[in-house]
Amino acid sequence: MQAARASDGVAFASHVYYPANNPGHFFYLTDEITIQFDETLSEKSRSTIANFAGFKIVRQLEGIPNTFICEVAKQAAENPIKIANRLTRYPEVIIAEPNIIVETQQHYIPRDPLYPKQWYLNHKGGSQLAANSHIFAEPAWDITRGVRSIVIAIADDSVDTTHPDFQGQSKIIGPVDLKDNDLSPMPVEDTDNHGTSCAGVAVAEENGKGIAGVAPGCALMPIRTTGFVDDDSIEQLFNWAIDKGAAVISCSWGPSAIYYPLSLRQSAAITKAATQGRGGRGCVILFAAGNANRPVNGTINEKGWPANIVSGQTKWLSGFAVHPDVIAVSASTSLNKKAAYSNWGSSISICAPSNNAPPGTWLPETGPIATPPDITKYLPGLGVFTADRVGAAGYDAGDFTDSFGGTSSATPVVAGVAALMLSANPRLTAREVRTILEQTADKIVDSDPDPQFGNRLGTYDASNQRSDWFGYGKVNALKAVQAAVRKGGGNPNIGGARFNDISGHWAEKFVEALAAANIITGFPDGSFGPDLSLNRAQYASLLVRAFNPLPKAPATNFIDVSASFWARSAIERANRGGFLSGFPGLKFGPDRNLTKADAIVSLVNGLELKGGNADNLKVYTDRSQIPNYALNAVATATALKIVVNNPARDRLAPLREITRAEISALIYQALVARNRAKPIDSPYIVVV
């Protein structure tokens, strides 16, 4: 720094800063400070302060009295941040702000070719698209696109797990068919279409093939239900989801009954999942409000039904939607209005965008039936574009449909947002997730009368909290994820460790620190697997999250990394950033396990670390096992205190496959070496 400042060829030199616990963002300083002085201060006094602090006043800021743009002198003893901080202690200075540069960036946009059709995630306006009728997914994805350790269970008629948008390493977790008692939740009947579309909305993989779900990085647990609502079926469903590690359970269905209170066993099964699932933090459980344009709990004077199958003062009750541990989801349209079919009432928690259509229901005596009175007016609004059964089967002749909708579609939208929240903060309880969703919802308003009954329930109560049509409002993914991050540690009564298998482990502090920074994640059962091996594809993904590498060279087109491979983007970025190269024949070896020597060489090369010498290797009793290509890198890493050895600090074991715990320790120490993390006290860090 001193040499740079002394050079005639350097106009200004200063440090680069990054915010704590967020090493991927950098703040650059200019030589400018904006200062607002007290109005009583004379020009002579301003000049005295400027000379003493080491800056000169360049010009006055137009529009704000007594405010000036100032320039820090090259010979100043402090940088602009330190000068500004010191100036604020002067009673004559009202405000002192350094001019800080932050790089702009576009919000993350999936590379899936059909993503532009998914207006409900993010849109920039258009035909039948009201401003802000989407859920703001793109800015939320700048924080997280979801992690595999958070699993969304889609309980429905089936899920076509062969669909290209459900492919990816560890994408499918715990599949089951409760109807046929096997582990294949695939469609069987011609009408088994619903669950595939719901799964696409919530969790379709971002793999460049079709669409993207709300939480594309999360895992999918497809559960084919029995098709009946009874005590055994409900217990099976929720117990399976708990046992297999579901974090979110999305149910876009209800009983084929107008009045259906839950049995004691059914209610208890839901409460168990909501309180005991996810290691005691609770599964987030969502149910669709229904599509009959009726109250989830209320009375309607019914008339006009065929053969008077329903008539007179009729009590409507959806036992699942009114359960206190359930998030009941209603539907809004692409025009930010109530969907004509959407059920309503005091138990609605939140709404999400879906299509618009006449209301209807399904009764055993009639099958699908429109609920009267008939709606003759045009109902504007776009359909939901999502996954469909592969091939000619399904809603449309193809792998996707543009006509999905109902509260069936709104529910997995909210399920995906809940999964993003838990990806950002896995310590949230189910109750905290619900509270955040409700507190961060957008208060959309629909003052128009209902086209069937003429009621107006689209405004909010006196405290502006909730409405019967929209609950607490339309889900906002960005605000919800931001609030989840701010929430911090979640419920303090659930134990200390983030993972259930690292308490007391030698690498616990390193693993916890990286997990807190959202650099590493665990598995759906709450474990981290500290002693499991790590392959090169997994390592590439970890490198990208830890170091956000900038490109230094053209990418290699590896023949064994297909365009749809789950880690292709991470491999390309790690390769271009100088962290990872390939093998002869343009092969990368994504499934090849990483050795400790390979990991050290990768970190030293990618971070361009210097400073080692051969004498540093004398600390290792097994230094003869270090490959020639790794000698300089190991020496450099040792000098910088990056190497962490367990159980013996003097034994490197360079050719052994590295474990998840060891790579966590190495990466954390590399961040420390780059002044991007605070040192951790560990007896296993090698010191020369």
Q: Where are the alpha helices (DSSP H) in 230-305?
A: 231-243, 264-276
Under 8 Å between Cβ of 351 and 458: no
334 a catalytic residue: no
Cα dihedral value 437, 438, 443, 446, nearest 10: 110
Identify the active-site residue in 194, 330, 446, 664: 194
HEC-encoded secondary structure of 154-220: EEECCCCCCCHHHCCCCCECCCEECCCCECCCCCCCCCCCHHHHHHHHHHCCCCCCCCCCCCCCCEE
List all residues 6 or more positions away from 637 whose beta carbon is below 8 Å from its beta carbon.
600, 603, 604, 609, 612, 643, 666
Query: With left for phi above 0 and alpha for psi between -120 and 50, is residue 169 left, alpha or beta?
Result: beta
Distances, alpha carbon 165 to alpha carbons 85, 115, 287, 467, in Å: 51, 12, 24, 36
Phi and psi at residue 503, in whole multiples of 5°? Answer: -60, 120
Identify the active-site residue in 408, 467, 602, 664: 408
Q: Is residue 486 packed enough to be buried (19+ CB in 10 Å), middle (13-18) or exposed (0-12)?
A: exposed
Nearest residue to 198 (alpha-carbon basis) of 247, 275, 252, 130:
252
Q: Which residues on neighbouring strands pair with residue 250, listed in sequence order?
A: 154, 286
Structure tokens at 310: 């329903």
Is-cis flag, bond preceding 358, omega within 30? Answer: no
Nearest residue to 647 (alpha-carbon basis) of 513, 518, 507, 519:
507
List all residues 6 or more positions away from 66 whose beta carbon is below 8 Å from its beta carbon.
36, 37, 38, 39, 41, 94
408 a catalytic residue: yes
Alpha-carbon gap, residue 164 to 146, rounded angstroms: 19
HEC-encoded secondary structure of 556-625: CCCCCCCCCCCCHHHHHHHHHCCCCCCECCCECCCCCECEHHHHHHHHHHHHCCCCCCHHHHHHCCCHHH
Under 8 Å between Cβ of 217 and 168: no
Tokens 């540690």 identify what position? 489
The number of CA neighbours under 13 Å toward the Cβ of 338 is: 34
Question: Which contiguous run of DSSP H or E holds residue 458?
Answer: none
Identify the active-site residue in 156, 157, 165, 446: 156
Alpha-carbon gap, residue 274 to 238, rounded angstroms: 10
List all residues 6 or more positions away from 356 whose beta carbon is below 8 Å from its beta carbon.
333, 334, 335, 337, 339, 340, 341, 379, 380, 381, 405
Rg of the chain (C-alpha set): 29
Determine how β-strand 27-37 pairs with β-strand 67-72. antiparallel
Determine how β-strand 67-72 pairs with β-strand 400-404. unpaired
Alpha-carbon gap, residue 214 to 419, rounded angstroms: 9
Q: Which residues on neighbouring strands pair with residue 37, listed in sequence order?
A: 93
Instruction: Enumerate the active-site residues.
Output: 156, 194, 408
